[in-house]
Amino acid sequence: MPMSSDSTARAETVISRCQTLARFSEDVGSTRRTFLSPPMRDCHREIATWLSPLAVSVTIDAAGNLRGLYPANHPNAPRLLIGSHLDTVPNAGAYDGILGVVLAIALLETLEGRRLPFGIEVIGFSEEEGVRFGVPFIGSRALVGRLDHELLSRRDVHGVSIREAIQNFGLNADQVPAATLKDDVLGYVEFHIEQGPVLGNLGRSLGVVEAIAGQSRVELSFAGSANHAGTTPMHLRRDALAAAAEWIIDVERAALSISDLVATVGFVGAKPGAVNVIAGEALATLDVRHGSDNVRTEALSDLIARAEQIAKRRGLSVKTNALLSQRAVAMDTFLADRIEDAIRKAGCEPHRMVSGAGHDAMIVAEKVPAAMIFLRTPGGISHDPAESVLIEDVAKAIDCGVHLLAQLASSQETLGRMCRA
């Protein structure tokens, strides 16, 4: 189905707006926008100018989330949330997270003032990446009531706590509980770039996310004996780094043997770290992800067992330290089915998939039905200035959103959910 000039023009506007927001940065010459940093204020101000002509009331909640409410056709109607996050990683691209917020605004513009049986709340989460405080999803945690005292006390490298960052931004941290979602929310829909190569390899513009993969992160420490590199015979060595290297190859081999499993050793460090000293200690991290929690946890146990076997055979010891265990989160089947229909009506062949990356949708799903639509990421490149989108994919995403809103507005099941809200 060819793109209309109207959808192409809207897509061009979306891309231009994403690039505008990318200029609001803590760094000169690249994009970095962390939780409630000064550029976030500029970001809020710019987005508010796009929402103002649409009769949208814009507020910033106590967790720093931008929230813009487009009213329904009658008072006290429930709301559908559409959005994503506004923060970035260092040296970021222009579309991760931000695209989902800007697309939500584009969908409101397509309504041209027409009201639906439900309101639409555009939401730009203040934090998803975990860059500033080492913990992700600060914004969406607030919506589900999980931004507690312990988390608010967490500090960045400069000693500033989340609570203090909120206060410094001119917000009141004591009002964080008021950001929690009420019972009048129908669900949450998030448009997001895939950040991977699957849709591109399939030649598909849009994908339906069925689930967000669970994650396990573990730190392993291999302990052997440091010794002189020139005088210690090979068969008498207890080389911790060699043990770690053998295990890393095992990790790759095991992951390749299990469908859809991904396992990554992203960091390796050796001590004492001198060119002429056998490593007495080696530290390695392990990240394991899969759509099934059973598959993920079994694979993790097997990989830790392999590390222990390798260490024992080499006369070493190994210790493990669990860093993260995040369960897999299924997306709402009703919304996913409606999205699949909407993608087809937009002229695309949908692809059902699991997201290997974490997203705000997995947090919001604790409280309300949640769903995600992926846009193809050319080259699979993300978290880099080379991150891009295709104008035809953005246009198809807008068309998909228009069809989705129409389906939800006329759906008896949607109306049933409204009655229960």
| Type of residue numbered 196 | G
pLDDT at 193: 98
Full-model pTM: 0.89
pLDDT at 326: 87
pLDDT at 3: 55
pLDDT at 421: 45
pLDDT at 1: 46
Q: Angle formed by the axes of helices 412-420 and 391-410, to 10°? A: 70
Q: Can you list the domains of the chain with their CATH numbers?
A: 5-212+328-420 (3.40.630.10), 214-326 (3.30.70.360)
E strands of 138-242, at which residues? 185-193, 206-212, 214-223, 227-228
Query: Which pair of structure tokens corresponds to residue 379?
Result: 């080259």
pLDDT at 5: 66
- Reading the chain (421 residues) residue by residue, the pLDDT tens digits are 455 568 899 999 999 999 999 999 999 999 999 999 999 999 999 999 999 999 999 999 999 999 999 999 998 899 999 999 999 999 999 999 999 999 999 999 999 999 999 999 999 999 999 999 988 999 999 999 999 999 999 999 999 999 999 999 999 999 999 999 999 999 999 999 999 999 999 999 999 999 999 999 999 999 999 999 999 999 999 999 999 999 999 999 999 999 999 999 999 999 999 999 999 999 999 999 999 999 999 999 999 999 999 999 999 999 999 988 989 999 999 999 999 999 999 999 999 999 999 999 999 999 999 999 999 999 999 999 999 999 999 999 999 999 999 999 987 566 565 445 4
Burial of 45-70, coded b for 16+ CB within 10 Å and e otherwise, reads eebeebbeebebebebbbbbbbbbbb
pLDDT at 418: 47
pLDDT at 419: 47
- Count of all residues that appear for the chain in the document: 421
Query: Are 205 and 393 within 8 A, CB to CB?
Result: yes
